[in-house]
Structure 1
Amino acid sequence: MKPAAARIRGSMECAIYEGQDGTGTGTGRMSRPDAAQGCESVLKRLRGLGGDAFGWVRLDNPSAGELEQLGEGLGLHPLAVEDALQPQQRPKRERYADGVLAVALRTLWYVGETSDVEVGQVMVFLGPRFVVTVRHGRADPAAEAARRLGADPAPLAFGPAGVLHAVLDVVVDSYGTAARQVGADLTALERRVFSPEREDVIEEVYSLKREVLEFRDTVQPLLPVAEEFAGPRTGWPEEALPYFRDVADHLQRTSNEVRALDELLNSVLDAHLARVGAWQNDDMRTISAWAAIFALPTLVAGVYGMNFEHIPEAEWDYGYPAAIGLMAGACFLLYRLFRRNGWL
């Protein structure tokens, strides 16, 4: 699994969701995002929110100064800001004393050309009137989440929790897509392992095994986080819980798929090693059969090569052709015997 290449620093967008009526009908609308705003401008917009409105700030690989300035203005915990700047965090959630919830998610996508699973990170901060997403890596779940919320604004009635659900849903869907792509590569690898042709795929099996293990380490730590969000003690509106339960169900299904891929890879590895052993046994039987065939004429020729005075058939005109015929006939009989037993 390879870390994703960093995107250009400094990309910042701010979206304002307002007009929520609290009925769960999703009447909120998103303002047009203002690209590349300064932190002061964003903080000013967030401080001016009223009613049920909230803001969503999306950061793409920000600098430490930008994130620290924004975090100070929004009251984010310094440890949470530090985690957001380090893109190799384990999936987790932390709720701080100031009421801010920090959720670390790992993004991943499958590169079919190299059979690699590349990883990134998105950190989500939730406050009473704001959501901040900090992205590292190629995948952009925040952009896809914003698109989905624009097409179906019902989760916006839940406030910032609706944005967290949308981002989490996009991340989990990407896990399922990557699992299917890894499964397709594994199926192709299985066919090569059991093909009649001899092909050493041990390196590819180990490579795919490594990717699946890191895939598993990405998915499994997120399971308890998603299940906790689906429980009644999270503080979400009651109407939001089915949405989070749906995400937790999809994540559990993907986790089962990844575990099945891991077990199947172990079986494929064992089968390939068994086939390699069978190939070596076949080679040894073939070598042994030919060695036995050539040993017989060597023995006969060796006997007749001993310079004794009285050698059988030494004075016989047909002695030499008879010895050659005996060796050829014995070799032919041994060849037929080994051939019938599958050694040749």
Structure 2
Amino acid sequence: MQRNAPPHHALIWLTVIMSSPLSVAEAHCTVYRADNRADNRDSSSGAAAAAGSAERFELNTTTGDVEALRHAHESLGEGDFCWVHVSEPDEAVMHRIAEIFGIHELVVEDAVTAHQRAKLERYKSQLLFVLRTVNYTPGGTDTDLTPDVTTGEAQVILGRDFVVTVTHGEAPDPTDRVTENLERVFLPQTVLYSLADEIVDHYLDVTLQLEDDVSAMETTVFAPSISFSIEEVYLLMREVLEIRHAIDPLTVALKLLVSDHDNIIDDSRTYIRDVLDHQILAADHTGNYAERLASLVDAAAAKISLQQNTDMRKISAWAAVAVVPTMIAGIYGMNFQEMPELDWAFGYPLVVCLMVSICVGLIALFRHNRWL
């Protein structure tokens, strides 16, 4: 029995180097073509295209980049799609890309404006999916004792035969993993799933780092022999809350994406559910850390207050010890002629012994009560 030949696919890389006025930090376009379309099932029926061999071509140019992108989009056949990635785009770049793919003007505005919450928005047959990227640098190094969080943004504009990804901020670009996944599963939704999977997996890595720092902070606060500053607890809590603010909204966006039966096929929805499970786990972890640190702040404040009370007891005890010889010496320092034992030969040694005895007795009493 003769087997069917495996489908052949080609990935054509069009690396678009934007020249002025289309100057951006990075821009590239990937075109997927299903050459053997007879062996591929229609993605609209809910079945994903099978993976096959891939052929890649690179094109570097400083002129005509928009026309190259337009030509790539116009040359798409049935089952083909293209993926455009831009980093830190300006408004002119996004308007020209939007003109080619018919992207809504509100999507262009969101793509140019960074620092948005994670969200999912629908524009007829197009989706805008926004995610926040998070990087965490633990404190405690020789040069920097405070933890640091940097957040970025990744946006996915999904259409019938195109995907546009936009990244902002200092967070690492996750598109390398997207490229690897496209070599195995060739669907526009694959870009969205791969990007979300990369970012959410990094969320889990960040939560592991946070677990180490929170546990170390708990050990420091409750250790009796380790001195600490409550400012350190506040700084760590502030970074955890910033991470939580970036992570939590994605849960709602992913749930909406899973329930979108018009734009997301069943095969992709299965993978998105897996991303949602990881996202819920990461959100639960950050919420748990925030609660632990809130309790730790209260415990640290109570410990500092207790330490201050202990210090005040010690000060009061030593003041009580010092006031006895001061009082006796003050009495015998008065300029009176008729005073008991004033002319007695053993008066001075007796008074000194009395002062020492009372002081020793007070010190013993305070030590017994653990004031000293």
> Is TM > 0.5 for Structure 1 vs Structure 2?
yes
**Residues 214 and 239 (structure 1 numbering): CA distance in 2 closer, same or farther, change over 3 Å?**
same
Correspondence 1:231 to 2:259: yes
Correspondence 1:343 to 2:353: no
Q: Which of residues 113, 116, 119 in structure 2 aligns to 1:89?
A: 116
> Which runs of 5 or more structure 2 residues have no equivalent in the other structure?
1-22, 42-46, 140-145
Conserved? CA contact 2:121–2:127, under 8 Å: yes
Conserved? CA contact 1:14–1:33, under 8 Å: no
1:181-260 → structure 2 map (5 Å cutoff) = 181-197=209-225, 199-231=227-259, 233-260=261-288
Correspondence 1:14 to 2:29: yes
Q: Deviations over 1:146-175 (max 9, x none)?
A: 23444xx14x3xx21111111111111111
Separation (CA, whole Å) in 2 of partners of 1:198 and 1:192: 6
The structural deviation recorded for 1:91 is: 0.9
Q: Deviations over 1:238-266 (max 9, x none)?
A: 22222111111100011100100100110
1:1-344 → structure 2 map (5 Å cutoff) = 9-19=24-34, 21-22=40-41, 24=48, 26-27=50-51, 29=54, 31-32=56-57, 34=59, 38-97=65-124, 99-113=125-139, 114-138=146-170, 139-150=172-183, 153-154=184-185, 156=186, 159-197=187-225, 199-231=227-259, 233-344=261-372
Separation (CA, whole Å) in 1 of partners of 2:363 and 2:55: 83
Separation (CA, whole Å) in 1 of partners of 2:308 and 2:60: 64
Separation (CA, whole Å) in 2 of partners of 1:92 and 1:100: 14
The structural deviation recorded for 1:214 is: 1.7
The structural deviation recorded for 1:208 is: 1.6
**Residues 35 and 320 (structure 1 numbering): CA distance in 2 closer, same or farther, change over 3 Å?**
farther
Separation (CA, whole Å) in 1 of partners of 2:49 and 2:74: 26
**Residues 31 and 270 (structure 1 numbering): CA distance in 2 closer, same or farther, change over 3 Å?**
same
SS of the residue corresponding to residue 196 of structure 1 reads: coil
Which residue pairs with 2:9 in the alignment? Answer: none
The structural deviation recorded for 1:313 is: 1.4
The runs of at least 4 consecutive aligned structure 1 residues that moved more than 4 Å come to: 32-37
**Residues 9 and 36 (structure 1 numbering): CA distance in 2 closer, same or farther, change over 3 Å?**
farther
Separation (CA, whole Å) in 2 of partners of 1:32 and 1:186: 48
Conserved? CA contact 2:120–2:257, under 8 Å: no
SS of the residue corresponding to residue 109 of structure 1 reads: strand
Which residue pairs with 1:4 in the alignment? Answer: none
SS of the residue corresponding to residue 115 of structure 2 reads: coil
The structural deviation recorded for 1:52 is: 0.8
Separation (CA, whole Å) in 2 of partners of 1:101 and 1:145: 18
**Letter in structure 2 aligned against 1:296:** V
SS of the residue corresponding to residue 45 of structure 1 reads: helix
TM-score (norm 2): 0.84
The structural deviation recorded for 1:331 is: 0.3
Separation (CA, whole Å) in 1 of partners of 2:133 and 2:61: 23
Which residue pairs with 1:3 in the alignment? Answer: none
The structural deviation recorded for 1:25 is: 6.3
Conserved? CA contact 1:10–1:60, under 8 Å: yes
**Residues 32 and 168 (structure 1 numbering): CA distance in 2 closer, same or farther, change over 3 Å?**
farther
The structural deviation recorded for 1:187 is: 1.7
**Residues 125 and 34 (structure 1 numbering): CA distance in 2 closer, same or farther, change over 3 Å?**
farther
The worse-fitting range, judged by mean Cα deviation, of 198-207 and 318-327 is 198-207
SS of the residue corresponding to residue 193 of structure 1 reads: helix
TM-score (norm 1): 0.90
Separation (CA, whole Å) in 2 of partners of 1:40 and 1:11: 17
Conserved? CA contact 2:203–2:282, under 8 Å: yes
Conserved? CA contact 1:106–1:120, under 8 Å: yes
> Which runs of 5 or more structure 1 residues have no equivalent in the other structure?
1-7
Conserved? CA contact 1:17–1:31, under 8 Å: no
Q: Deviations over 1:268-320 (max 9, x none)?
A: 11111011101100110000000110111112112212222221212221110
Conserved? CA contact 1:92–1:104, under 8 Å: yes
Root-mean-square deviation (Å): 2.0
**Residues 223 and 238 (structure 1 numbering): CA distance in 2 closer, same or farther, change over 3 Å?**
same
**Residues 313 and 36 (structure 1 numbering): CA distance in 2 closer, same or farther, change over 3 Å?**
farther
Q: Deviations over 1:82-114 (max 9, x none)?
A: 1111111111111113x1111111111112355
Tell me the percent identity: 37
The worse-fitting range, judged by mean Cα deviation, of 301-310 and 327-336 is 301-310
Q: Deviations over 1:107-130 (max 9, x none)?
A: 111123551110111111111111
